[in-house]
Amino acid sequence: MEKPHDQVPDPLDGYELLEKLGEGGMAVVWKARQISLDRLVAIKMLSPSFTEPDALERFRQETRHTARLRHPSIVQVYDAGERDGVVYLVMEYIQGQSLGDWIAGAGRLAPADLLRVADGVAAALDDAWDKECMIHCDIKPDNILIEADTGAVKVADLGLSRAVGIHRTGERVSGVIVGTPNYVSPEQAEGVPDLDCRTDIYSLGATLYHAATGELPFRELGGDGAMEGHRSGQLEDPVDRIEGFPLPVAWLLEKMLVRNRAYRPQLWRDIRKDLELVRAGRLPGVLPEPNQSTLKRSLRRIKPKPDKGQVPPLQIKASALPSRPTLPPSRPRPSVTAAEASGSLLLALVLAIGTVGCGAWWALRSRDQRIHAAVSLPVKPENPIPEPEVVVSGRPGEGEAPDGFNWEHPAYLRARTRVGHAAEALVGWQTDPRSDLLAEARAATVEALELLDLCGDIAPPGVDLQPLQDQARRLAQQIRAAERTPPDDPPPMEAGVLSLATRWATQPRTMDPVLLAEVTKLFQGQAVPSDQPFRRSADTTFASVTFLMPLTEALDRLGQPAWIEDQPLTFFPYPDQSLTLRRYQSPRPQAYDELRLVTDLQDQVVIMQLVQTQPAAPKLPADPLQDRWTLVDPVTGRVSTEPSERVTHRIRSTPPLLRIDSELLAPGEDPARSTSTYRVSTLMPTRLVGLLLYRLAVEP
């Protein structure tokens, strides 16, 4: 029998439920304690009715994306799963209040607080869009949290609304997300499926309007009425509601609440630039035209004239016209008949019409040339790349082009060219993996999609923009995949097999002779050089973790230690572009400060390190006859820089495990006593040592 949603659920393994924090139609949130790490967490349990296979799979995908994000303004996701028909999400616990609670208590926010909230949310969603192309779809005051101690702004439920995909009324819509009606963008209200970061920009604008005025947008219209209000209604300008309301903030709200997303700010970085201007007391850049926004512009706000840096409208000054020629003295005009006069008048009229027509044609031609020049600017003017003629579908002369591909509007032509440019750059990157080619492909794709979005409002009937939009989106997906996966990676390998880049055996290009000698001496004789990647074994290394165990499983066994940072492992003995060093807070702080895991391309654990950075008494025997070492850490390549410091190593080889204990000793006040300032225990499979020795022995 299904447990009622409002009763205390059965405890999850490893967690102790403490108190209920809140409940809505979609989920209930509990404050809990993670027993293994003795830390507070928030557990969101979705409604028991949320069990449809498609919805569950969507939930898993979105939470995986969210868990990869690391940003100080995003509520961190620790774990997710399903038990006894209940889907749950374990998240960072924030001690504080929501923006909704703040508004309810204060009535409305001061402009400085308003901009601080906007800055935190914009930074978080900019990071989510840039790294994972993730959007929130339900930005509202209740999903923005404020830490009590620091005042830090945190965005909650990122990805959850998109995973659930439920109407406010409970109606399920495949692939379409409708957020809270009072904050949704017009395209959300219309059910547009291809949402992007601009929908969150609008919702943040509506949220900031609520915070600035204390009035819920379109509160009086109800749910469906509020969504219609965002499509066709208008909100009163806060300048007319609040005495002394800053004009730059009002302009920012109007800009974020532009109805047509084609004329709304296109990226979060645009909003962040505007926030910098507004904080400095200046107006945002590129102000909207009248009646474009849901925010009705007050008569107290007048759009300023363009700055000197902006191009003014084309005007012809009198001084630029040719001077009137001097005519000879007039002679007596001969008399003419009425017929001749009528003919002359008709001729003059024809000439006048022709002159006006030619002038209009020339003006329109000049305007089109200016538009074409404006949309034809290269992405990098300092290093222009010739753009070949692109035929998106088919080849020249092979049949008739699809509908719309003969449209000669310059913005559309530019979009076609940029799609071709992106495809060309992506192909070039696959053969020559330079980061600038990938960046160029990304920039070209973004520009093409923006231009096509603009074209959607002006395209004549019969013009089909969809094929080119689909191709640009496919390119964007390929570019995102390429950014996450180096081009020389091997095809997907079976689980439990060491996964390295295809050129892993290439000898390091730059090798410090001293470090090369010390690394060789440290590893020599511990394994047989070999170029054969190895498989996972059942041999335990530390805390029930085995080599080539998936990272997620290893972290579970280690008690989900708090993440610090990830960085590529670049120390020269290790395979290039193959390994990642992941740092975590120690699950056992009384024994060591930091836990480090090195993973391969499939996120399988290859090396483990236990690091102690606090000064302590030495543990390794101090042998005065021991060779002098420079290398302190055999994984990160840390070296000793002070002549007075001494490095000691102890190697324990018990195949299939190699353990290297390293210690950096600094002299104390008593010359006979030293202090350990850095101690690290490195555990790696002997088969990996064989790969390193093979790589060092490869002829350049």
Instruction: Report, as residue numbers or ranges, the catalytic residues.
Output: 138
Cα–Cα distance, 666 to 650 (Å, whole number): 18
Give the tokens for residue 587.
């699950």
Please give the Cα distance from 524 to 516 (Å, whole number). 12
Q: Which residues contact 673 (CB under 8 A, 6 or more apart)?
A: none
- Asked whether the beta carbons of 623 and 514 are under 8 A apart, the reply is no
Q: How far is CA 172 from CA 13, 52, 164, 651, in A?
A: 32, 11, 9, 61
Q: Confirm if 19 and 31 have CB atoms less than 8 A apart.
A: yes
Which one, of 323, 288, 293, 42, lies nearest residue 156 by Cα? Answer: 42
Q: CB of 40 within 8 A of CB of 33?
A: yes
Rounded CA separation 58/52 (Å): 10
- Look at the block and give the residue holding tokens 């759009």: 303
Cβ atoms within 10 Å, residue 119: 18
Q: What is the DSSP code string of 429-451?
A: HHHS--HHHHHHHHHHHHHHHHH
Which of 658, 646, 660, 511 lies closest to 571, judged by CA? 511
- Beta sheet of 153-155, edge-to-edge order: 96-98, 144-147, 153-155
Q: How far is the C-alpha of 419 from the C-alpha of 390, rounded, in Å? A: 8
Quickly tell me which residue has 């994972």 as its tokens. Answer: 132
What lies within 8 Å, CB to CB, of 312 at 6+ separation is: 306
Spatial contact of 238 and 135, defined as CB atoms under 8 Å apart = no
Contact (Cβ atoms closer than 8 angstroms) between residue 326 and residue 264: no
CB 235 within 8 A of CB 202: no
Eight-class DSSP state of 549: -
Q: What is the end-to-end Cα distance of the chain in Å, rounded? A: 68
- Give residue 519's region: left, alpha or beta (phi > 0; psi -120 to 50): alpha
Phi, psi of 292 (to 5 degrees): -90, -20
> In angstroms, how far apart are the furthest CA atoms of the chain?
129
Is 646 in contact with 677 (CB distance < 8 Å)? no
Determine the Cα angle at 41 with ends 37 and 46, to 5°: 130
Comparing CA positions, the residue from 553, 606, 551, 612 lying closest to residue 586 is 612
DSSP, collapsed to helix, strand or coil, labels residue 210 as helix
